[in-house]
Amino acid sequence: MSALMKKSIFFILLAAFLASAGLSAQNPVIRDQYTADPTARVFGGKVWLFASHDIISPVAPERKWFCMADYHVFSSEDLMDWTDHGVILSQENVPWGKPDGYSMWAPDCVEKDGKYYFVFPNAPREGRGFAIGVAVADAPEGPYRAYEKPIPGIWGIDPCVLQASDGNTYLYWSGMGLQGARVKEDLTALESAPVRLDENLPQGFKEGPFIFEREGRFYLTYPWVQDKTETLAYAMSDNPLGPFEFKGILMAQSPNECWTNHHSLVQYKGEWYLFYHHNDYSPAFDKNRSVRIDKVVFNPDGTILPVTPTFRGVGITPARSLIQVDRYSALGHLDAYIEFLDEQRPFDGWYVCLSRPGAWVRYDRVDFGEEAPETLTFRYRASRDCSVYVSLGEAGGLFDLPASTSWKSVCLPASLSTTGLQDLRITLEEGADLQLDWVSFGDDGPVVFSDSSTALEKYMVPAGDSPARPDEDGFVRRWLLLEPISKPHRTNNDFTETYLRELMGQNYFPGQLSDVLPKDGARANKTLRWHAFDSKLFNVKLFRFASNLSEDRYGKLYWMATVVNCETDIPDVRLATGSNGASMWWVNGKEVVLMDGDRRMVVDDCASERLTLKKGRNVIWGAVINGPGLSDFCVRFLDAEGKPVTHYTITTK
Ligand code: FUB
């Protein structure tokens, strides 16, 4: 081991990649766009989240008001991993709505006889204020078609539908107080005159009614301004249209004065959850909000215990994932606080700062499974050497973190006899101003890297939780990379077309070229793992990736994959590639580019035939082989005029 290597202590990125990142139901739950006014419904065993989609006004950004042009829907089977099914309805597709009204406020959705009825308020072409419309689909994710006309006789916002046990369907909304009426099952018309629901309730502005039935009783829950901003309050009745008796506050007003709150309650897998919103990603502008989830507990008499909003949210976090301790369950005292990693890029998330000895952060419900971990990786920054004590139930240990003014990941041996479900607590023992981005437990033993190998951070970083976008030149920078396979070659002249087809046609791992990608950190075979990266450069530096793993970096075959997600079909595009050395590329299972010979990395060196990127997921696979010398690649899509295609997102699942 070189002197440099001895000096370096376990500089590592990799242990963190052993984990499958992103699986954790921390708040907010949607981390790449604003979401508000959540209505959660259970269809087909999954939770479907119908939400408003807050944006900054594209026409008058200085107008600080609500602005929404469309709706997305999200689904989850575990409330932890959410799939964004994309836009289900936009303002241009509502025949009766203003195509530039930007008023697609709080929605709801219900199912009846295999049809999904999506109910939403919108600004009508004629007149002022809001009408309430309906769009229908055969599946919760759409496609939805809006009715020609809004529901007659309603002016208002915040529709909520109840399919009651009495066999009737009821619609509730706000506008001139909270109102409710019986409606037809297909929501085309009211079947009874609207009644006021709030007449017996305490004074104060109310909106956003959400009504549900539980054990024969009806709960009218609603945002209510008791003091300055909206609390969530509730009332109960034996009748779906009341009269309702006020019961109390379900969630207090927010301390940072986000003026609105809006919510729904849902029972899923035996537990009750409150979906609500807060302006986590937009502290300076409270009309850009984000959905959160916390648990709800009912008292034996049917009343509801007040819900405390948390960052930690619901669900269990695997110990071997990136544990975002800034989404804490509790903080030690005022010497611990959170900050954005980058204020200009709020969706990158936060770090927690332990500013003085004694400051601590606690993160509950970490699952270690049956095996105690062998390593603990910290991603951190600190201007002084720090020591932290990590406790997990009975187990605990002291960890030294050397000063580092830039973000760095350090993997340390951890002899913590910890299994099962534990609450994690990290206390600063020595040092000051320790900033922690995440921690992650692992199994493979710490890997010692030389200082130069830490330079990988200059080229690529672990893929973020939120979907990525191509860069402004259209280059795809998010990739799953398989640790390189040894294929010694003294020269690159061997890379003929026949040789490449034979080499890359062999089977190296299960699921090769398949539509389903391996998880970040998953093993491809006994020795090699997959890692999801965001490249800092347009060209992905495979050589750096290899040299970070071992000194042996020549004569390697690399496999890579990514997913391009399109909102609509994108026809007439070419996959343009460059690589050092030879490579092959596949789109949706079909070979589209083969680059043979002794190549240098040249942008758009080869391009595929014209192809269509289909609406939804498009899976791209690649394989690059190199003998002596550096290795890298770049990939982008070009349109019919040769311009980069940039209107899609990139994920690795
Ligand atoms: O999202 C716009 C409006 O803010 C909703 O309709 C209200 O309930 C409030 O959350």
| 222 CB within 6 A, ligand 1 | no
How many Å from the N-terminal Cα to the C-terminal Cα in the chain?
38
| 39 CB within 6 A, ligand 1 | no
- Tell me: the pLDDT tens digits for 482-529? 999 988 876 677 899 999 999 999 999 989 999 999 998 888 887 788
The amino acid occupying position 346 is P
Per-residue b or e along 613-626, where b marks 16 or more CB atoms closer than 10 Å to that residue's CB: beeebbbbbbbbbb
Residue with tokens 């996959």: 575
Q: What pLDDT score does 409 carry?
A: 84
Q: What is the mean pLDDT of residues 622-650?
A: 92
Q: What pLDDT score does 453 carry?
A: 39
From the list 564, 482, 490, the residue with the least C-alpha distance to 519 is 482
Q: How confident is the model at residue 182 (pLDDT cuts 50, 70, 90)?
A: very high
Question: Do the beta carbons of residue 478 and residue 532 sit within 8 Å?
Answer: yes
Distance CA 216, CA 232 (A): 22
Ligand 1 mutation pick, 50, 65, 262, max ligand atoms within 8 A of CB: 262
Distance CA 530, CA 652 (A): 11
Query: What phi and psi values does residue 307 have, to the nearest 5 degrees?
Result: -100, 130
Determine the atom of ligand 1 nearest the C-alpha atom of 223.
8
Burial class (CB in 10 A: 0-12, 13-18, 19+), 48: buried
Residue 196 neighbours by CB distance under 10 Å: 15
Q: What's the DSSP call for residue 131?
A: E
Characterise 253 by phi-psi region: left (phi > 0), alpha (psi -120 to 50), beta (else).
Answer: beta
The pLDDT of residue 235 is above 50: yes
Quote the ligand 1 centre to 107 CA distance (angstroms). 10
Q: What pLDDT score does 2 carry?
A: 33
Helix, strand, coil percentages in the chain from 3-state DSSP, rounded to 5: 5, 45, 50
| 286 CB within 6 A, ligand 1 | no
Distance CA 153, CA 189 (A): 8
Question: Do the beta carbons of residue 209 and residue 221 sit within 8 Å?
Answer: yes
Query: What phi and psi values does residue 210 have, to the nearest 5 degrees?
Result: -130, 120
CA angle 282/285/291 to nearest 5° reads 50
| 51 CB within 6 A, ligand 1 | no
Cis ω before 143 (30° cut-off from 0): yes
Give the residues across from 533 on adjacent strands: 462, 479
Percent of the chain with pLDDT over 90: 76
Query: What phi and psi values does residue 185 have, to the nearest 5 degrees?
Result: -60, -35
Q: How confident is the model at residue 543 (pLDDT cuts 50, 70, 90)?
A: confident
| 66 CB within 6 A, ligand 1 | yes
Q: What pLDDT score does 479 carry?
A: 97
Q: What pLDDT score does 443 carry?
A: 80
Q: How confident is the model at residue 4 (pLDDT cuts 50, 70, 90)?
A: very low
- Residue 71, both tokens: 């709706």
Q: How confident is the model at residue 301 (pLDDT cuts 50, 70, 90)?
A: very high
Question: Do the beta carbons of residue 134 and residue 147 sit within 8 Å?
Answer: yes
DSSP string, 604-616: TSEEPPPEEEPSE
DSSP string, 23-52: ---PSSS--SS--EEEEEEEETTEEEEEEE
Q: What is the mean pLDDT of residues 317-346?
A: 91
Quote the ligand 1 centre to 564 CA distance (angstroms). 33
Query: What phi and psi values does residue 626 have, to the nearest 5 degrees?
Result: -140, 145
Distance CA 639, CA 634 (A): 17
Quote the ligand 1 centre to 207 CA distance (angstroms). 8
Residue 381 neighbours by CB distance under 10 Å: 19
Q: How confident is the model at residue 463 (pLDDT cuts 50, 70, 90)?
A: very high
Q: Greater confidence, 2 or 295?
A: 295
Quote the ligand 1 centre to 105 CA distance (angstroms). 6
Q: What pLDDT score does 430 carry?
A: 95
| 36 CB within 6 A, ligand 1 | yes
Burial class (CB in 10 A: 0-12, 13-18, 19+), 231: buried
- Residue 62, both tokens: 């200085």
Give the catalytic positions in this structure: 37, 207
The pLDDT of residue 553 is above 70: no
Quote the ligand 1 centre to 399 CA distance (angstroms). 47
The pLDDT of residue 190 is above 70: yes
Q: What pLDDT score does 444 carry?
A: 65
Q: What pLDDT score does 630 carry?
A: 75
Q: Greater confidence, 460 or 449?
A: 460
| 52 CB within 6 A, ligand 1 | yes
| 157 CB within 6 A, ligand 1 | yes
- Tell me: the pLDDT tens digits for 420-454? 999 999 999 999 999 999 998 988 654 433 333 34
Question: Do the beta carbons of residue 39 and residue 48 sit within 8 Å?
Answer: no
Q: What pLDDT score does 25 carry?
A: 63
Ligand 1 mutation pick, 260, 261, 263, max ligand atoms within 8 A of CB: 260
Q: What pLDDT score does 348 carry?
A: 87
| 158 CB within 6 A, ligand 1 | yes
Beta strand spans in 521-598 (E): 530-535, 556-566, 570-580, 582-587, 590-595
Distance CA 102, CA 70 (A): 8
Residue 503 neighbours by CB distance under 10 Å: 17
Q: How confident is the model at residue 320 (pLDDT cuts 50, 70, 90)?
A: confident
| 105 CB within 6 A, ligand 1 | yes
Q: Is 381 helix (H, G, I), strand (E, B) or coil?
A: strand
- Tell me: the pLDDT tens digits for 578-615? 999 899 999 999 999 999 988 888 889 999 999 999 99
Distance CA 39, CA 211 (A): 11
Longest dimension (CA), the chain: 86
Q: What pLDDT score does 451 carry?
A: 36
- CA-proximal residue: ligand 1, atom 8 (nearest): 208
User: Average per-residue pLDDT in the chain?
Assistant: 91
Q: What's the DSSP call for residue 296?
A: E
- Tell me: the pLDDT tens digits for 56-113? 999 888 888 999 999 999 999 999 889 899 999 999 999 999 999 999 999 999 999 9
- CA-proximal residue: ligand 1, atom 7 (nearest): 208
| 219 CB within 6 A, ligand 1 | no
- The region of weakest confidence among 1-15, 359-373, 618-632 is 1-15
Most confident of 179-188, 253-262, 409-418: 179-188
The pLDDT of residue 547 is above 90: no
Give the residues across from 322 on adjacent strands: none
Ligand 1 mutation pick, 119, 157, 277, max ligand atoms within 8 A of CB: 157
Characterise 86 by phi-psi region: left (phi > 0), alpha (psi -120 to 50), beta (else).
Answer: left
Integer-rounded Cα radius of gyration of the chain = 27
Question: Do the beta carbons of residue 391 and residue 430 sit within 8 Å?
Answer: no
Q: What is the mean pLDDT of residues 138-145?
A: 96
Per-residue b or e along 419-453, where b marks 16 or more CB atoms closer than 10 Å to that residue's CB: beebebbbbbbebbbbbbbbbbbbeeebbebbeeb
Domains of the chain: 9-20+316-449 (2.60.120.260), 36-296 (2.115.10.20), 455-651 (2.60.120)
Q: What pLDDT score does 213 carry?
A: 98
Question: Do the beta carbons of residue 42 and residue 273 sit within 8 Å?
Answer: no
Q: What pLDDT score does 23 carry?
A: 40
Per-residue b or e along 526-541, where b marks 16 or more CB atoms closer than 10 Å to that residue's CB: eeebbbbbbbeebbbb
Burial class (CB in 10 A: 0-12, 13-18, 19+), 57: middle
- CA-proximal residue: ligand 1, atom 9 (nearest): 260
Q: What is the mean pLDDT of residues 276-302?
A: 97
Q: What's the DSSP call for residue 447?
A: -
Quote the ligand 1 centre to 54 CA distance (angstroms). 10
Query: What phi and psi values does residue 383 have, to the nearest 5 degrees?
Result: -85, -10
From the list 458, 501, 509, the residue with the least C-alpha distance to 480 is 509
Quote the ligand 1 centre to 214 CA distance (angstroms). 25
